[in-house]
Structure 1
Amino acid sequence: MDVAGYPIRIHPPTASRPYHQIVYRVDGERRVTSGGRTIKTAMDKAATIAARLAADADQARHTVSEFLDAWEDPDRPRPSPWSPKHAAGVRWVLAKRVRPAIGHLTCQELRRRDIQRVVDSAPTPGEGARVRRVLGTALRWGHRHGYLVTAPDRLIGDVHWSGQREVLAHEQGTDPLWVPPDEIPSHNDVAELYKAMAGLCRKGEPTPLAVLVAAYSGVRLGELRALRGSDVDTRRRLIRVTRQVTEVDGVPTPGSPKGRKVRTTVYPPTTPGGIKLSALIVRRARAAGSGLMFPAPRGGFWSATNFYSRRFHPAADAAGWPRAESGRLLWTWHDLRHVFASHYLWDLGATPADVSTAAGHSTVDITLRIYGTRQAGALDRLGALG
């Protein structure tokens, strides 16, 4: 029979083959695929094949690597352009996990077991989920554009990382994301880091101020590296976060902030340690103008590697920040964000919703899970009720 004007044949099931068979030709080459048990299923699938043929989109003879090249192509039409960081992450996943395992296969040879093998090659559940997300997006695009004969849900729908995992118990009343208050730097620890970094820098270098801005406005390091003087409203003590710097192939590159969500956060006139933060920010923002608030010593963006090795780690050691037996710092730069959130939540009594908005958390639930899942004295309070 003809389907949508194309010579596509549907053969009925036989005693030895309980499924319909769909037979068609592409560029003179005979193709055969299963059509399912019912004639309706077979007709629906034949119509899908005809639509792909009509669009001249049957690309199933290409290799998986060629299909991925087309999907990665920055010039192909897409709803919104990939950020440099996202593009670099996709390239890494494809180069390290996908292409070595299945890049040589033709698209029409691709099977669920091949996808499972790729996902299981990841060393951790989180990395496996990342590989699965990238593959899922690629497969859906490939099916729409004729590279894949098999529907993406059949290829990846039931595929999940199946390596060895260790399930760790945590104490009742806490959450795996919870950060205990005694694991957050104190206000004195922040002040010591600020002073130590000032001692490492040349006179006039603004980098030490970044310590206080991170600790009392919650701006992430990548956002601080991209922050301009014009992003600061010194009259209202507001900071507008509109971009961040990430490393793309080792090069500091500005782009959209995390989650592509701009936000506004606040900072206090004076830190709990008595440092006049507002006055320092006013002076620096005026000097920076539309330029960077915290440029590298030679101008331009700090690279993350240089910032940590030349400023943060030496300053943390000079400030007496603790290290584990392995030599790793127990507090990281990111812990300064914990100072901000816990200070506003517990010291100043701000609502979780307001702190979540200023910190740039995806939901207020994340804020509560990190900072509000357990309060000291729960057993004492319950005991007092009896």
Structure 2
Amino acid sequence: MGRRAWGTVRRLPSGRYQARYPDSSGKQVSAPHTFATKADGNRWLAKVQTQLDSGSWIDPKAGQETLGVYAERWVDTRLVRGRPLAPRTAELYRAQLKNHIVPALGSTPLRQMDASAVRAWYGTLSGPDGPGQVTAAKCYRLLRAICTTAVDDNLIARNPCSIRGAGQERSSERPMFALAQVQALVDAVEDRWRALILLAGWTGLRIGELAALRREDLDLTAGTVSVRSSVVDVIGQGRSYGPPKSAAGRRTVAIPPHIIDDLAHHLATYAEPGAKGLVFVGPKGGPIRRNNFAARVWAPAAEAAGLPPGSHLHDLRGWGATVAARHGATTRELMHRLGHASPAAALRYQRAEQERDAALAAAMSAALGHSDGMTSS
């Protein structure tokens, strides 16, 4: 007698009521809990039918998998523009999961992930004992992306990551070198690495792009360097060469003429032979490895040149972009030199130069006020 137009409600020996309904395959599914009255069961069925009709229904048995297990599979199967994650990106995601997400949330079933749990986790991660705001923002964005996919997979009804501004990085300003410091850095490294430092600073190439450069990529007659490939070293997977990070990363950049002779000297003295030969290799003929280069070449040279503590080779990229902006490079021109698809970074360098220009103008006015021999006309 418990029949209705859709689904059934029956009385159990306990006196409570059980609701059942057919899923999309026709299989009968029981409600995850019983009801005190038959009317309560009918109301619940009506709600489920509405959700099924609107496409917002979530199987009550879905989401039993833990966040940790789902997140690992997410990294393995994630596609960006139809391609798997780059090895370095996958490595970074797994490190963020292992160090900052899974220890706190990994054992939580997906269906139990809620906004309060995410807020508590993020509050700890971004607090004074956490790894810092930048890392917290990166981890939050990763968790939000994973949960977005879980919503798309109909495993959870809504994304529990709803903290406004939590995914925005507020990086501290990177050190800005003076031209004299960059020249001191060039003079401090061994002759083998002089051309690499010059090219990094004056063209803005990334370390992975520099490490992948081959002789055929340098046209010293035309004064250009073509970025066709990049290299990444992934723990447990070794070294891999592949296309740049984005389509915009594949580019040809003009080389300032004053470093052409240094590059010619390097090619004649240190680069591998043949058109496919690597431009930059170590004393034993091995390719550049980021960590080894940072420890053995960059760190002692940076100290000798008096660079600010914590300076990285990547800071030369920002220095080169700022110099280009200072000499009138447009947003589009900076995007091309840096290999960026978005104008955000280019605008940052231009904004820095505008702020400096305003400061210079203010200083000029201040100097006028302190000059007894100057009068307005």
1:111/1:2 CA distance change after superposition, 3 Å: farther
Aligned pair partner of 2:140 in 132, 136, 150: 132
Maintained 8 Å contact 2:233/2:289: yes
1:193/1:30 CA distance change after superposition, 3 Å: same
1:242/1:103 CA distance change after superposition, 3 Å: same
- The equivalent of 1:236 in structure 2 is 222
1:209 shift after superposition? 1.3
Question: What TM-score, normalized to structure 1?
Answer: 0.70
Q: Does 1:156 align with 2:145?
A: no
- The equivalent of 1:354 in structure 2 is 333
1:39 shift after superposition? 11
Q: Does 1:366 align with 2:359?
A: no
Maintained 8 Å contact 2:48/2:57: no
Partner SS state of residue 222, structure 1 = helix
Maintained 8 Å contact 1:229/1:289: yes
Maintained 8 Å contact 1:116/1:159: no
1:65 shift after superposition? 2.6
Q: Does 1:185 align with 2:193?
A: no
Partner SS state of residue 239, structure 1 = strand
Aligned pair partner of 1:333 in 292, 307, 313: 313
* Structure-to-structure mapping, 1:1-386, within 5 angstroms: 7=7, 29-31=30-32, 43-47=49-53, 59-74=62-77, 79-122=82-125, 123=130, 124-148=132-156, 150-152=157-159, 155-158=160-163, 161=166, 183-186=176-179, 188-198=180-190, 205=192, 207-249=193-235, 251-259=238-246, 261-262=248-249, 263-271=251-259, 276-277=261-262, 279-280=264-265, 283=268, 287=273, 289-317=275-303, 320-322=304-306, 328=309, 331-346=311-326, 348-361=327-340, 362-363=342-343, 364-375=346-357, 376-379=359-362
1:121/1:76 CA distance change after superposition, 3 Å: same
1:91 shift after superposition? 1.0
1:307 shift after superposition? 0.5
* Alignment root-mean-square deviation, CA: 4.4
1:23 shift after superposition? 6.7
Which AA in structure 2 matches 1:80? R
Counting matched residue pairs gives 337
1:2 shift after superposition? 11
- The equivalent of 1:18 in structure 2 is none
Alpha-carbon separation, structure 1, partners of 2:8 and 2:284: 67
- The equivalent of 2:12 in structure 1 is none
Partner SS state of residue 297, structure 1 = coil
Alpha-carbon separation, structure 1, partners of 2:3 and 2:223: 71
Question: What TM-score, normalized to structure 2?
Answer: 0.71
- The equivalent of 1:13 in structure 2 is none
Alpha-carbon separation, structure 2, partners of 1:8 and 1:217: 71
1:43/1:220 CA distance change after superposition, 3 Å: same
1:84 shift after superposition? 0.8
**Residue identity (%):** 22
1:253/1:185 CA distance change after superposition, 3 Å: farther
Larger Rg: 2
Maintained 8 Å contact 1:116/1:161: no
The C-alpha deviation readout for 1:12-61, integer Å capped at 9, x for no partner, is xxxxxxxxxx97578855336999x99998654233568766xxx96322
Maintained 8 Å contact 1:60/1:106: yes
Maintained 8 Å contact 2:88/2:232: yes
Alpha-carbon separation, structure 1, partners of 2:46 and 2:325: 60
Which structure 1 residue ranges, 5 or more long, are not aligned?
10-21, 169-175, 200-204
1:160/1:267 CA distance change after superposition, 3 Å: closer
1:98/1:296 CA distance change after superposition, 3 Å: same
1:92 shift after superposition? 1.6
Higher relative contact order (CA 8 A, sep 6+): 1
